[in-house]
Structure 1
Amino acid sequence: MNRLSHCLSILVLLVEIVHAQDSFVVDTKAQWETWNFPLGTLNIEVDGSITPVRFDQPFNAAPDSPLFTHELRAGAQRGGVWKAGSNLAAASLIIDGDTSTYWQPNPADGADQWWIEIDLGRMVAVGEVRLHFPDEAGARPLRTFRVFGSDGKFQSIADDVFTFNLIGGTTKRNEETLVAFPVAFGEATKRVIRLGQSDGTTAANTAFAPLQYIRIVADAKSDQAALAEVEVMSFGQNIAGETMARGGLIDDQGKGRASAMIDGDVNTFWEELNWFEAGQFIAQWQWDLGAVYWINRVIFVAFQESTTFSRPRILRHRLLGSDGSLKPSGETDFDVLFDFPDPAGWHNPQPITYLLRPSRPLRHLGMVFGGSSSGAIAEIVAVPTGYVAEVEMRSDFIKIGERPKVFRTLEWDADLPPGTQIRAQTRSGSGLDEGNTYYHRKGHEVTEDEYNALKKRWKGDIVPYIRPSADWSDWSNDYLFSGQEFLSPNPRRYVQFRISLKSDTPTAAPTLRMLRILYTDSFLNGAFGEVTPKEARAGEAEDFTYRLQPDFADGDRGFNRLRLDTPSQTALGSLTIRIGATEIEPLAVELTPDSVVVALPQVVRRQAVQIDLRVNVFENPYAFNAFVGHTDDMGFWQQVDPMGRSATTVFLPEVPAALKLIDKIAISPAVLTPNGDGIGDRTEVRFAVLKTDAPVDVDIYSLDGRLVRSLAGGRGNDGFLVYTWSGDDALGRTVPPGIYVVRIDVKAQTDVEGVSRIVNVVY
């Protein structure tokens, strides 16, 4: 059984448990763990509550070093305490996070064997190394020692040989239980660039060294010598290495080399040459972190071949950042965070530290370079602070029942401190398609027939899939509050949830405790609709026929109420209703500017229902959405699905080609006589707006351009926009006789259109 099928089985079982309550609830740790979300971004507690992960600064990189694996000349190597000259069995105790346990070198071993070495498993930007010693009977601090560090750069093409630099050591007999050494070698070649001002809550220290190995060497033997704990302190946790596991991506325009910058290995690197585009800023790579983090530090470590004569360097570039917002084109909307000038001369900086003060919510980073070469980048360090700024979690496809259900409301229970929010969306469907995806051995997808025709040696993997059937909806709009009416199509058998936990500050985060969807059995197994004709002219009354065909199954209640959304108010005399071939007299009809609601004289189960009506259409395209209901449940409507693609949609062919947004303008009467006799005391400005639902302003001006009054109005029953003027100014005073200008302005996203007309005031 694949993972998705397993998850569906679990969720179906849970539905059966809660079916009697007509609700589906997610509120346990086991349930949440079946959801998909970026690795390492959420804490799921035993009680079922969920909170975004908090990143504290500084960060001790030693305890989790065994979680990392890297390649050596000799093969794969797991991080941790990997070497010790003496008592290797107890060596791991120096990174177990417990200062009450310790490593003691064997007193019988020579002084040259009293050493121990930590492999951090990846390169870490280390700012300080702290050594904790016990001081109790049988275990005393090391008295004389030195601490060394190496970045893990291979110094041999055949062997695992590294260069170690001195970090610090004792200058007199040590009696302390805590000794700390700042790590600051190589500072002369580093560059630190700041964006913004510190808020005073975060240390401004920038000194560090890129290190992977820490070696502690005793300079002399001492009685009962022991080492309890080694803390390797970085500015914060580097989230670069887990990018792919979180569902993120780093891409250098498809060249496939950028991942070398986030693999934790200074022996691999990324570099790009653009000999023919010197001087231009060329987009080189973009990095999706997989979630939105509050980032306050980004470090780039340059690459240095051991045999290269010139210094390692990173050349002129721009650093870009985005919180994930999109441009109208759908592309990521990047801001320029920093401009790094062309390094001059021999002293090109090696590591570059970018400090963001205050921290900034970032989902994407990018780099563009302005020269013919980028220089070489070995590693990127991205340091978050506080809670994850925004993380999205998505359920699998959840089967609520064998029969379609009417989903009524979506509810949740959450703690929302100021500056935090929960965004929820749903989509729904009637089924899932199962099948296989076939791959050629070279990695590209082929059809089943093509796969079967391949020789055995060219056949790749066959990967099973479960995916939504064609009737699944897109994601709904955001639910604005718990208990809101379900926003995705109904009735359906399956539902899927997408939840975002978001904070506007790194110091607070929402906590989600429960998600619940309330549902009932549907009136019908399904219902399908179609409208004719499929085309109309904008703003002109047109006769339409809407046909509804029930899909009845045993146990269905049927329906005796019907609602049809309309683009304008239906002309009452045009409304006729048929059940089957028989015209019927409805029990009641309610007409509004945007719908018609009909109470039927009988319960309909299998017979088709036809509605004839006359309306004006302005929106292109316009979908006639229909719903069925029952007097047993007056508060709910079951949605009717289109019989096919665009089956309930009407198009206005002339609208896309129209050059104007404002059409069919009428001012009646054109001569206004505001003398209070009830004849011509006010004029009506009537018009249609095409291709947009943008805001509309209607104003009255004098001939010298002075604004007299802004008019109030709105959409009339026939769908036209209607604004009235009684011949008064903004203060309610009757204007002098004369000629006035009516100005109509539509402020669309891509254009502003205005139309002027004349109205005369006479009395």
Structure 2
Amino acid sequence: MRYLRVTAFLAAFLVCGGAGARVREWRVEDWKALCLSMSGIDFEASPGCIQPRELRPDENVALKLDWEPGSPEDYTATGTPRVWVPLAAYQHKSFLFLVDGDPSTSTGDMFKTLGIKYYGYPFYFDFGEPLYIGRIRFYPRQEGKDELGYYKDYYMKGFMIKVSDGFTFREGRPVWSELVGRPENDESIVDLRFSPRLVRFVKITNMRNDPFELAEVEFYGSGFSLESFYLSQVIDLGRRANFGKVSWEVSRWRRVGEELVEAPDADVSVKVEGRSGLDPTPIVYYARGDTVEITEEEWESQPSQRGSKVEDRENWSPWYVLKPGETFPTSGPRRYFQFRIHISGKLTETAKVGDFVLEYSTPLLADRVLGEISVKGQPRPSGGIAEVVPGREDTFVYCVKANFTSPSQRGFDCIEIETGTKPKFVRLELGGEEVEPEYIEGQDFLRVEFPEHRIDIRNNVPLKVEFQSSVMTYAKEFRGYVLDTQAQELPQIIEPGDADPDVGTNCLKVNLARNFIGNVLPKFDVSPAVCDAENREVSFSYAVTQMDPLSSARVRIRIYDITGRLVKEFDEGRRKNGLYEERWDCRDGEGNLVPPGVYICTISVETQNKTFRRSRSVVVVY
């Protein structure tokens, strides 16, 4: 029987098609319309894609940003460009006219009252992200006059400009450095040019008591945004669905003179994350006191009554890193999802992201499919979660119970369990009776098919799969899926829950026994213990456990004689979590049979922080 992994199984649906297929595609049609928030993103440069914003030396950056009035609540958070004057008399006024590109709008008479000293009055600008800025230009209205005189004469007679790169903060506030100080200024139009530098915050401070006005502040720079972010709105699929693979296209580009050329080797990273939920609001908002939940609109409109806002962990998953061509990770069928994209580039290198597609299928195979796992003979462990010795083969019982609410839910005739290590199938029970299924024991999965005993709304019986496997990591989750092999449907995730009243775990996780936590080398066995003329081969089996999935450890096996002389060494290289085996033919490093005697076999597993060792003895007799 041929086995198809889940990702390959999903890909096959689109190839098969057919009138009965219920696998659908959701794709981004309009990136700008779908956007909830962004920083440093250009929607216009490449239709159908997003890319980091590029600054050109002759373009006023201020006109490319979506400014908002008022100071940021959190200076360290990127996102929204802002402009404000932090003085009590002006805290409710909007100064967006300073960056609107219209030189006829200005501060007017705000700073022209006779008798008031305007020394030290500051204007703040936050680009929302660090940009390479090389020019700042500002001025009052250049045309017109009033009873006090010509507008163009009301320029700042002295000023200081400070900037902050947006990376350095002290107590949550930007750390400033002086860009230019001009206590005496006689230019109506101030046009400052300097070597491009990373700037996020700009503070222009008036340094004279004279009345003044500002009409426009312009910023000019060059290069692509170094850090760009895109957050989609919450997407509604209409009803709960099984999620399939997610994909998108990425191309990398480099600015060479006036040309933008495709450059696959460009040093640009693109990180895509997604989350899914059961309701349309991934954030929970509270009134003051954090006991009463309110709507987002109420929270935004009543600042004085605001409590905290937190992510809804009850109805929404955390953010998961997405990988193109792989399944969108969920905890079960979901109706809503959201995604975000982070592009990190260089001054002259960027990336374009487009063609974002998610496969999903409705209706579901069942309304819900619950599962729980236990060690055989221990259905109700004291801590509520099964515990095992790492690296040891144990027998597990995987219980599943489905709930159907509609005949349109087709049911399933196959289960697949992610075991992490190579499993051994033991038995299958359906409705308390053992049946003979077809099964596949993969390197890290178990697939069991029972087409003649299909589970659906008419035959909704509990299912139990018994198998043997080893656990290598703490809190190992035995994720499972049910499938319909007779139809082109996506697999449905088995959710942790009470699938069997006689089992008390209600989860799909298995923990390591507490006294083994942190032990990377829990197992090192030598067999046989005596090597004779008929059996001149010794087997070393060992387990490497509790390593980070991206890490590995250096493993060496050394054999010494009774005097401590090294006889043979096996350099196993770098090993990840898993069960391994090495064989010794009773020969030394030169290929000669070792003389009879007692030999000490040692293993060392060298991690980044610690080296673990174990020893065993073997007797050689001829």
Normalising TM by the smaller chain, what interval?
Answer: 0.5 to 0.7
The residue aligned with 1:566 is 419
* SS at 1:681 equivalent: coil
Q: CA separation in 1, counterparts of 2:337 and 2:554?
A: 39
Q: CA separation in 1, counterparts of 2:336 and 2:490?
A: 19
CA contact (8 A) 1:696 1:744 kept: no
CA contact (8 A) 1:147 1:214 kept: no
* Alpha-carbon displacement from aligned partner over 1:352-406 (angstroms, at most 9, x marks no partner): xxxxxxxxxxxxxxxxxxxxxxxxxxxxxx998632223232223222121x222
Q: CA separation in 1, counterparts of 2:66 and 2:291?
A: 43
* Alpha-carbon displacement from aligned partner over 1:197-221 (angstroms, at most 9, x marks no partner): xxxxxxxxx996236996547xxxx
Give how far 1:146 is off: 12
Matched, 1:494 2:494: no
Aligned amino acid, residue 273 of structure 2: Q
Q: Pick from 163, 181, 203 the counterpart of residue 210 of structure 1.
A: 181
Matched, 1:477 2:329: no
Matched, 1:399 2:215: no
* Alpha-carbon displacement from aligned partner over 1:53-92 (angstroms, at most 9, x marks no partner): 234569878989997553689856848899xxxxxxxx93
Give how far 1:635 is off: 8.8
Aligned amino acid, residue 411 of structure 2: G
Matched, 1:535 2:386: yes
Q: CA separation in 1, counterparts of 2:286 and 2:553?
A: 51
* Alpha-carbon displacement from aligned partner over 1:557-589 (angstroms, at most 9, x marks no partner): 1000112233655555xx332222333232x12
Q: CA separation in 2, counterparts of 1:467 and 1:383?
A: 38
CA contact (8 A) 2:23 2:490 kept: no
The residue aligned with 1:454 is none
Matched, 1:52 2:52: yes
For residues 23 and 656 of structure 1, do their structure 2 counterparts lie closer, same or farther at Cα, with a shift above 3 Å needed? same
The residue aligned with 1:666 is 525
The residue aligned with 2:277 is 429
The residue aligned with 1:750 is 609
| Structure having the higher Rg | 1
For residues 231 and 699 of structure 1, do their structure 2 counterparts lie closer, same or farther at Cα, with a shift above 3 Å needed? same
Q: CA separation in 2, counterparts of 1:120 and 1:447?
A: 40
The residue aligned with 1:514 is 355
Q: Pick from 395, 409, 412 the counterpart of residue 556 of structure 1.
A: 409
Matched, 1:680 2:535: yes
* SS at 2:273 equivalent: strand
* Runs of 5+ unmatched residues, structure 1: 1-18, 83-90, 96-118, 132-144, 154-182, 184-205, 218-228, 242-261, 268-303, 307-381, 451-457
Give how far 1:439 is off: 3.6
* SS at 1:513 equivalent: strand
The residue aligned with 2:509 is 649
Q: CA separation in 1, counterparts of 2:481 and 2:66?
A: 59
User: How many matched pairs?
Assistant: 479
The residue aligned with 2:430 is 579
For residues 232 and 78 of structure 1, do their structure 2 counterparts lie closer, same or farther at Cα, with a shift above 3 Å needed? farther
The residue aligned with 2:36 is 35
Aligned amino acid, residue 461 of structure 2: Q
Aligned amino acid, residue 594 of structure 1: D
Q: CA separation in 1, counterparts of 2:329 and 2:96?
A: 49
Q: CA separation in 1, counterparts of 2:272 and 2:84?
A: 37
For residues 704 and 420 of structure 1, do their structure 2 counterparts lie closer, same or farther at Cα, with a shift above 3 Å needed? same
Aligned amino acid, residue 482 of structure 2: V
Aligned amino acid, residue 599 of structure 1: E
Q: CA separation in 2, counterparts of 1:65 and 1:518?
A: 34
Q: CA RMSD in A?
A: 5.0
Aligned amino acid, residue 27 of structure 2: V
Higher relative contact order (CA 8 A, sep 6+): 2
Kindly, what percent of the aligned residue pairs are identical? Answer: 18
The residue aligned with 1:612 is 466
Q: CA separation in 2, counterparts of 1:212 and 1:59?
A: 29
Aligned amino acid, residue 401 of structure 2: Q
Q: CA separation in 2, counterparts of 1:464 and 1:593?
A: 46
The residue aligned with 1:420 is 268
Q: CA separation in 2, counterparts of 1:546 and 1:62?
A: 60
Matched, 1:640 2:494: yes
Q: CA separation in 2, counterparts of 1:511 and 1:662?
A: 45
Aligned amino acid, residue 43 of structure 1: D
Q: CA separation in 1, counterparts of 2:138 and 2:308?
A: 51
* Alpha-carbon displacement from aligned partner over 1:315-363 (angstroms, at most 9, x marks no partner): xxxxxxxxxxxxxxxxxxxxxxxxxxxxxxxxxxxxxxxxxxxxxxxxx
Matched, 1:737 2:595: yes
Q: CA separation in 2, counterparts of 1:81 and 1:425?
A: 36
For residues 721 and 151 of structure 1, do their structure 2 counterparts lie closer, same or farther at Cα, with a shift above 3 Å needed? farther
For residues 26 and 435 of structure 1, do their structure 2 counterparts lie closer, same or farther at Cα, with a shift above 3 Å needed? closer
Q: CA separation in 2, counterparts of 1:567 and 1:436?
A: 35
Give how far 1:629 is off: 0.8
The residue aligned with 2:103 is 92
For residues 212 and 518 of structure 1, do their structure 2 counterparts lie closer, same or farther at Cα, with a shift above 3 Å needed? farther
* SS at 1:529 equivalent: strand
Q: Pick from 523, 526, 545 the counterpart of residue 368 of structure 2.
A: 526
* Alpha-carbon displacement from aligned partner over 1:642-679 (angstroms, at most 9, x marks no partner): 01786122233344567x44234321123445xxx7x3
For residues 150 and 671 of structure 1, do their structure 2 counterparts lie closer, same or farther at Cα, with a shift above 3 Å needed? farther
Give how far 1:697 is off: 0.9
* Alpha-carbon displacement from aligned partner over 1:260-281 (angstroms, at most 9, x marks no partner): xx6x2547xxxxxxxxxxxxxx
For residues 20 and 615 of structure 1, do their structure 2 counterparts lie closer, same or farther at Cα, with a shift above 3 Å needed? closer
* SS at 1:391 equivalent: strand
* SS at 2:103 equivalent: helix
For residues 129 and 427 of structure 1, do their structure 2 counterparts lie closer, same or farther at Cα, with a shift above 3 Å needed? closer
CA contact (8 A) 1:66 1:80 kept: no
CA contact (8 A) 1:126 1:208 kept: no
CA contact (8 A) 1:427 1:472 kept: yes
Give how far 1:630 is off: 1.4
Aligned amino acid, residue 556 of structure 2: V
* SS at 1:559 equivalent: coil
Give how far 1:550 is off: 0.9
Give how far 1:753 is off: 1.2
Aligned amino acid, residue 560 of structure 1: D
Q: CA separation in 1, counterparts of 2:428 and 2:619?
A: 46
* SS at 1:31 equivalent: helix
* Alpha-carbon displacement from aligned partner over 1:684-736 (angstroms, at most 9, x marks no partner): 112344543642513234543476432589899xx7432222245668x3454
Q: Pick from 386, 389, 397 the counterpart of residue 223 of structure 2.
A: 386
For residues 53 and 706 of structure 1, do their structure 2 counterparts lie closer, same or farther at Cα, with a shift above 3 Å needed? farther
CA contact (8 A) 2:567 2:589 kept: no
* Runs of 5+ unmatched residues, structure 2: 1-20, 68-82, 107-120, 127-132, 140-151, 162-176, 210-218, 253-262, 295-301, 380-384, 499-504
CA contact (8 A) 1:123 1:152 kept: no
The residue aligned with 2:9 is none
Q: Map residues 161-180 of structure 1 onto 2, 5 A cutoff.
A: none
Q: CA separation in 2, counterparts of 1:128 and 1:624?
A: 58
Q: CA separation in 2, counterparts of 1:729 and 1:529?
A: 52
CA contact (8 A) 2:134 2:194 kept: yes
Aligned amino acid, residue 397 of structure 2: T
Aligned amino acid, residue 35 of structure 1: L
Q: CA separation in 2, counterparts of 1:759 and 1:695?
A: 25
Q: Map residues 266-281 of structure 1 onto 2, 5 A cutoff.
A: 266=205
Aligned amino acid, residue 559 of structure 1: F
* SS at 1:30 equivalent: helix
For residues 657 and 615 of structure 1, do their structure 2 counterparts lie closer, same or farther at Cα, with a shift above 3 Å needed? closer
CA contact (8 A) 1:669 1:684 kept: yes
